[in-house]
Amino acid sequence: MAARLRYPTGVRPLLIDETARRRRIETRFIEALERAAFAEVVLPIIDYVEPYAALVDRDANRQSYRFVDREGDLVAIRSDFTPMLARALAPAMRDDELPLRLFYRGDVIRCEASRLGVNRELFQIGAELVGDGSVEADIEMLRLAAGLVREFNGKPTIVYNDVSIAAALGASAREALVTKRVDPSTPLIVRKLIGGQATLDDVAPFAPEAAARLDAIGAALDPEEFVLHLDDFEEGAGYYTGLRFRVYGKSLLAQGGRYDNLYARFGTPAAAIGFTFTIEELD
């Protein structure tokens, strides 16, 4: 009897009150995106594993629910919207349609607890600007993310950096950035980045484009809400190529960034930037 009453770890039903709350949040969120001229797309809940094999790292592989279907193909339940959108959109895109402003919503299923919550089943809403590689597009998406937090009477704080800074350093320097461990051979710039003393002037000699873009972003946005953290690096950038950011209200609400090489992997080069909110923490 007990086994029939419980659910797998990390999933649960939403009953009347919780469902009504989610739908209210979802409706307000979608209305805000539509006012910003974003159009909705619907993506499948399962797909073949093979198209994404070169895109995902070991940790992402471990998070994905995979199984062999009746035809003997290896498929996975959706755990990340962004690569699925690129796979669906790239073959159909035309240059005269770009840029595209798109959003999506639905559940993602992950085997391990994510930084956005302890659930395996997460309801997400995301937005992407495809076909615009400019710093103005970065600023537009950062402002949109902040505005969505304000939509729910929250005060946004968006922490941002650029993953290409780490990519411009050697492998040992990147490892030191992630682990925060230094030794006598660690370059001075890495020590400054880890210690939080580095400035964009320090970064400019080896990552000039990243420094210029971050400087332009900082000049355009309110420093009370948008905070540059040059010491914020994660292990592995995944498909991100430039700007990387996290969106906070009362807690971590969203993550996003720029992925200018992702669409080329599915046949049509296009710059892209986006974010995905996990909405359980919104009111």
**Which position has the higher pLDDT, 179 or 128?**
128
Q: Is residue 2 part of a domain?
A: no
Distance between CA 56 and CA 43 in Å, rounded? 18
145-184 tens-digit pLDDT: 999 999 987 899 999 999 999 888 877 788 888 788 888 8
Q: Is residue 251 part of a domain?
A: yes
Q: Is residue 118 part of a domain?
A: yes
CB 47 within 8 A of CB 76: yes
Domain of residue 156, CATH code: 3.30.930.10
Q: Is residue 151 part of a domain?
A: yes
Task: Please check the confidence at residue 111 and state whether its pLDDT lies above 80.
Answer: no
Least trusted range by pLDDT, from 28-32, 70-74, 193-197: 193-197
Q: What is the dihedral of CA 11, 42, 139, 131, to 10 degrees?
A: 140
Q: Is residue 6 part of a domain?
A: no
Distance between CA 62 and CA 84 in Å, rounded? 18
Distance between CA 263 and CA 213 in Å, rounded? 21
Assign 61 a pLDDT band (cuts: 50, 70, 90). low
CB 145 within 8 A of CB 156: yes
194-215 tens-digit pLDDT: 888 999 999 999 999 999 999 9
Distance between CA 34 and CA 29 in Å, rounded? 9
Q: What is the mean pLDDT of residues 250-269?
A: 95
Q: What is the mean pLDDT of residues 119-123?
A: 81
Q: Is residue 106 part of a domain?
A: yes
Range of the domain at 269: 13-281
Distance between CA 72 and CA 219 in Å, rounded? 54
Q: Which of 5-14, 67-76, 109-118, 165-174 has the highest mean pLDDT?
A: 67-76
For the chain, the domain total comes to 1
Q: How many residues does the chain have?
A: 283
Task: Please check the confidence at residue 116 and state whether its pLDDT lies above 50.
Answer: no
Within 13 Å of residue 260, how many CA atoms lie on the same side as its CB? 14
Task: Please check the confidence at residue 85 and state whether its pLDDT lies above 50.
Answer: yes
Phi/psi class of residue 31: alpha, beta or left (left: φ > 0; alpha: ψ in -120 to 50)?
alpha
Of 170, 48, 66, the residue nearest 109 (C-alpha): 66
Q: Is residue 246 part of a domain?
A: yes
Q: Is residue 38 part of a domain?
A: yes
